[in-house]
Structure 1
Amino acid sequence: MFQNSRTMVSALVPKIHFRKLALGFVIFFIIAFPILALNLKTINVQVDGKTISLTTVFNTVGQALTYSNLEINSEDLVIPARDKKITKGMTVLVTRSIPVRLAVDEQTLSARTTAKTVGKAIEDLSNRYGLQIKDVDEVNLPRSEALKSQMSIEVRRSVPIVLQADGKTIDTYVAPRTVAEVLKKFNIILGAKDKVSLALNHILAANEQVKVVRVAERLETIKSEIPYQTVTQPGDYPVGLPDKVISRGSNGLQEQTMRLTLEDGKEVDRQILGQKIIVAPTNELISRGAQTTVSRGGETINFQRAYLMRATAYCIPGGITKTGAPVQWGVVAVDPNVIPLGSRVYVDGYGSARALDTGGLIQGNRIDLYMDSEAAASSWGVRYVLVYIQ
């Protein structure tokens, strides 16, 4: 009998334990329900074009959304902010973010953004991830294009370059690419003979300069004079006297076909392709003195050259010449720039003499002859004579 009593007690223990738990739950619910009821708040969530009524016991917007079944992403835009305390009847606006792929610096980033355009998405992700993408960097899509889910955006970093062409200088930015690609990008079409400062397959680096020189060729027919030549023949008169024109010369006329090469509008070369003479030139014929000897009073005078000079006479007894020699018959004053001092000369109408003196008025083709008397000097006067330098 004792054994049966123990079995009955053991069967009663679980039942008593369950009843205690159930009673505790009922008591907790009775106590907690009023508290929970007092903390319940209902907000209106506008998302995906719908307004959804959401009842929550949480205090902040972020907590309410996190523990809801709305599947809100951390990148979604929430207004008011997620840390804003909830008030009854509050309206919360949720803008869904969409997934995109951004490739930059040879890396691809998968992220979400609420931006509406490609440009705004780049700005958002650049700021968020510290990518420092600039407005001048190149993008594979127009920045104004509407953003779509799973869109792939490719960014190429740009570097500053200088482009000179057609009289313009363009300071711009381009992603590293060949010179040929840059010219195509700016619609610069090269002619067959145009020159470029860098090879077309050269990949541009920062601050490099590309200069395009336009090369053009054109044909021109040009008429020009053919200068006449001067032909001399020996004349039967002393060396040194002025040439005598026997017949006047005249220029000819020729026509030339030229190929002109121009770089940026400036002529840099010309080549004669052909020419023809329209009027031949006529040479000028002159006679040039060839005599180096003359006969005077049965005597032959040899000389180097002759001058036609204006001759005057003077008489200063006892005078001293420029060279220190005393004045006397046969002493003449000359311009040393024409006849060197000390030269032997022969003066027509006077005879042999030595150039030993100078004078303030004796310049150029002038000569002053010493006479033995004032009367002889006066009688000589002024005359033009041939002076032979021996």
Structure 2
Amino acid sequence: MENYPISKTWKFLVLAALTIAITVSLGFFMYQGSISDITLQVEDEVIEVASKAKTVEAFLKSEGISIEEDTYINVNLDTEIEDNMNIIIKQPKSYTISFNAGDLDIRSVHSTVREILDDQGIVLGEKDFTYPELHKKISSGDKIELFQVEEKIETVEDVIPFERTVNKNHKLDYGVVQTVQQGKNGLKKSQYKKEYVNGVLRSTELVKEEIVTKPVSEIVEKGTNNLIVTSRGNTSYRKAVTMTATAYDLSFESCGKRPGDKYYGLTASGTKVRPGVVAVDPKVIPLGTKLYVKSLDGAKDYGFAVAEDTGGAIKGNKIDLFFESGKDVSNFGRRKVKVYILN
């Protein structure tokens, strides 16, 4: 067999064809088997994964990760995989938010209280607070309690009672009390800051107090003079009462009896009627009480007397004075007297 030499052109064509074939095969092989390094963060767990997947969706399927409707992912599912890609996935979790009005079940991909509330569009007031606290992380199924804090300023009006001052007056009869100055209550306004948590009062703080009207003290004088000046000298007494006085005698018009009638001339006490005997209401002045009857109109005092009689018309602060003369009865009429109950 004879050997024929190969031309240089043919050799070049063969080498070029081989080079193209090798390049195409290698490129196809590299395309089919390129590997990308991916950082995958699922919740708080971070892993490094090498993958041949072309898209994010394909990558997640290859890793067995399902994506729900409200799952958070930082890239679109149809995004092509790139080397050193960072993929973050947060699955929604169930929580309960407890309000003053009731509970609300929600889902959120976040895990801190603040992020969960922000995710739900819940804005807290300046003094509102939560349990757990805003920076705390919670787990699926946990409850967040919201506490609404409300401050109110309330004004309260209080009466300031007046004081009563009692002064002794030796010029006044014993037991007599007279008002020198009328008492008047004052008024105080107080402002309180009240803090309510979910409608329940938690604290009260006095912030302002104002005396609107000062009270006016009541001033009274109490008589201490228990002596009266009589024809017998100074006589002590234990009580003085102003009464309406009338007069009676032994006439039929006065006593309803005539001489010879039973009990004519006798008192209710069974004693003989005489000057100095007076008729009283026993509920006011007991029978047998010694008295001194003083005139209040400048006339002569009736003087010393004894309560021994009664009368159908003598009730309450009334007294009937006995006179022997009908003329004296007529002249006396009806007038005010001061009756001293003697010791």
- TM-score w.r.t. structure 1 length? 0.40
Higher relative contact order (CA 8 A, sep 6+): 2
